[in-house]
Amino acid sequence: MEGNTQKRTFRQDLRLIKRAVEIWNQIMPHFWFWQVICTLIETFSPYFGLYMSALMINELAGACSLKKLFFFAGITVLGGFLISTVTRLVRSKCTLQKQLIQRKTEAYFTDVQNDLQYEHLENAEVVLMRSKIDSMMSSGNAGLELVKQSVQHVLAHVLNIIFSVALTLSVFTSAAEGEFKGFFAWINSPVSAILLIAIIALNTVLTVQINLKKTVAESRVVEDRARTHTFEVVWGPIGGHDMTINGFNGILIREFRKYLLRPTWVEEVEKVKVRYGVLSIALHAILSLILFIFVAAKAFIGAFGIGNFLLYQGTIGRFIGAASGLASEFGKLRHNNVYLEELYAFLDLPNDMYKGTLPVEKRDEGDYEIKFCDVSFKYPRTEKWVLRHVNMKFKIGDKLAIVGENGSGKTTFIKLLCRLYDPTEGKILLNGTDITQYRYHEYLALFSVVFQDFTLFAFSLGENIAADCTYDPDKVRDCLIRVGMGEKLASLDSDPKSKEKNGLKRAIGKDYDSMGVDFSGGEKQKIALARALYKDAPFLILDEPTASLDPIAEAEVYENFNSIVKDKTAVFISHRLSSCRFCDHIAVFDHGQIVQHGSHAALVSEKTGKYYSLWHAQAQYYSNSTG
């Protein structure tokens, strides 16, 4: 990564950092304004105290005017009171913003991911990029989070340098009156001041280089997806039975130690930090000694009062610390740009799917026709055709079953139908118009889909079905009853252990609510089906909708299928061919092509067809049962 750092110019580094600052301002407007105000006040406060103390000490060591001393004391007390009051108010505002910005950052990346083109969500490289971003955000020592912290530190260091230089500048320009010889004559000359400035500049350059080396070691982010996965399995609820029964505890703990603890890497990092840390401390000590001798010598010959000596000692010490800190922060920011480039690569992922401009016509009776016209498709970054020359047409009210072996193209067909991808060749028409010409979200609204790998969230039952915080409770209950969840819902309504007597308000799972409900796999599948019904879209797509149901519940769904689907167009994907008999048409996929199309009776009568072999391959397990 250090090599990448060296290839970028200073201007490129600044451009990357500038974009990160703009992103933070986009996440929370006015964030930087309040951080600047807070840092300015907090940095100014100690200099005010030092300056007023120097004035009072000089007065005590000089004319010792009581009037001036009271005046200085009053200014010190009043100024300190005002600074403390303003600091408390501004710090309160900054603390509130820091608490909110974490949530807003999560919301920002959620919005970014929601706007990604679907193909990126299935791209392993993009998933890895997202994993790295999560590591950056959680570790706090890389990516946007480091910029947020470092920019505040840089501002504080710059202000320290400005204030310390403003109060210390006179130490270089002041000269004592009188004749001096030897060392004191040289100290009283401009040459010593110029040489000292050169030493400070050289020290700063060396410190920058040292801190860059040290920062490269400190700011490394652990990016192993294996480590993240192992951590989630070890500490999460998933897979506990396999760990216990099948003895995965040992291998998981081994991987946990391997990827999380990394003892060899930690030792290496600590050695680098100690080596360069000692060098940095040594340079700081040498410069401090030189500056102390210079200031003390000037005070000795009377170039300024004793109060100024104490002032310069304080301000010069702060200058050295600020210069060293500024070098360290610039080193961190420069090295961090490697991670920012990865972040921006994720944020800049192209979304080149054409969204269309035509509105989807609202038809009262849902009179829509979908037609696949010689459609072929291969996934991005591959040369393998997943679908070849697919032609199909279905209208409102059709019940279409799609069957075939794994990898035959069934799920890909659905992804194209829902326009998660666009065909590589050919077209898909809606009422005679290419679907790419329609407004994207209006076209998506035509479909209710239950995927085999659906997700239920830790919200209430009603919110999960409506996919919204507000919903029609009567409509939700009707959908649950239609899919066979009526008795379960009634039991939730009357659960004596729950204070909530409205079953729709019970949370799914116990992730965030100890009174949440742990539904069975079959019940979850019914909830997903109810969600699809609630959307009330013209097209209902079911991908293995009964895979988790027991035989009785599965039979119940099939018996009530027509009442569940009603007059909607239903596309049904299943490996269980016995479940396809209630469909009007069956399309048989094989190696990306539709090799047969017709009713169950017609297809099963073709003894040389693919459907016949699939049907009898499954039927033998029932007919040849040995009991």
Q: What's the pLDDT band for 477 if we cut at 50, 70, 90? A: very high
Q: What's the pLDDT band for 235 if we cut at 50, 70, 90? A: low
Contacts of 230 (CB under 8 A, 6+ apart): 252, 255, 256, 259, 260
Phi and psi dihedrals of 373, rounded to 5? -115, 100
Contact (Cβ atoms closer than 8 angstroms) between residue 382 and residue 554: no
For residue 363, the model assigns a pLDDT of: 67
Helix 31-61 / helix 66-114 crossing angle, nearest 10 deg: 160
pLDDT per residue over 90-120, tens digit each?
Answer: 888 888 888 788 888 888 888 888 888 888 8
For residue 266, the model assigns a pLDDT of: 54
pLDDT at 437 over 80: yes
Among 184-193, 244-253, 301-310, 406-415, the least confident range: 244-253
* Pairing assessment for the beta strands 569-573 and 539-543 based on DSSP bridges: parallel
Q: What's the pLDDT band for 627 if we cut at 50, 70, 90? A: very low
pLDDT at 75 over 60: yes
More confident residue, 324 or 389: 389
| Gap between the Cα atoms of 93 and 215, Å rounded | 31
pTM attached to this predicted model: 0.71
> Which of helix, strand or coil describes residue 101?
helix
Structure token digits, residue 314: 């304080």
Distance of CA 140 to the CA centre of its chain: 12
For residue 423, the model assigns a pLDDT of: 93
Contact (Cβ atoms closer than 8 angstroms) between residue 571 and residue 414: yes
| Gap between the Cα atoms of 24 and 613, Å rounded | 60
Q: Cα dihedral angle (65, 69, 70, 75), rounded to 10 degrees?
A: 140
| Average pLDDT of every residue of the chain | 80
Sign of CA dihedral 220, 221, 225, 227: positive
For residue 252, the model assigns a pLDDT of: 60
> Which of helix, strand or coil describes residue 625?
coil
Contact (Cβ atoms closer than 8 angstroms) between residue 523 and residue 431: no
- Most confident option among 36-40, 235-239, 521-525, 577-581: 36-40
pLDDT at 450 over 80: yes
For residue 288, the model assigns a pLDDT of: 79
Query: Per-residue pLDDT averaged across 331-356, rounded?
Result: 84
pLDDT per residue over 525-571, tens digit each?
Answer: 888 889 988 888 888 888 876 666 666 766 666 666 767 777 778 88
Structure token digits, residue 446: 């035509």
Contact (Cβ atoms closer than 8 angstroms) between residue 342 and residue 226: no
- Most confident option among 89-93, 225-229, 521-525: 89-93
Q: Where are the domains of the chain?
A: 2-222+262-347, 369-456+528-623, 457-518
Say if residue 194 is exposed, middle or buried (CB neighbours under 10 Å; 0-12, 13-18, 19+): exposed
Ramachandran sector of residue 186 (left: φ over 0; alpha: ψ -120 to 50; beta: rest): alpha
pLDDT per residue over 243-298, tens digit each?
Answer: 555 555 566 666 666 655 555 555 666 666 677 777 777 877 887 788 888 888 88
Contact (Cβ atoms closer than 8 angstroms) between residue 409 and residue 594: no
pLDDT at 197 over 70: yes
Contacts of 79 (CB under 8 A, 6+ apart): 48, 52
Contact (Cβ atoms closer than 8 angstroms) between residue 31 and residue 97: yes
More confident residue, 376 or 167: 376
pLDDT at 204 over 80: no
- Does 2-222+262-347 carry CATH code 1.20.1560? yes
Contacts of 589 (CB under 8 A, 6+ apart): 402, 403, 404, 408, 409, 410, 413, 595
CATH architecture of 369-456+528-623: 3-Layer(aba) Sandwich (3.40)
Please report where in the chains the tokens 């118009």 appear, as a residue: 433
Contact (Cβ atoms closer than 8 angstroms) between residue 580 and residue 549: no
For residue 117, the model assigns a pLDDT of: 82
Q: What's the pLDDT band for 3 if we cut at 50, 70, 90? A: very low
For residue 1, the model assigns a pLDDT of: 44
Q: What's the pLDDT band for 625 if we cut at 50, 70, 90? A: very low
Q: What's the pLDDT band for 486 if we cut at 50, 70, 90? A: confident
Contact (Cβ atoms closer than 8 angstroms) between residue 213 and residue 140: no
Query: Per-residue pLDDT averaged across 20-32, rounded?
Result: 88
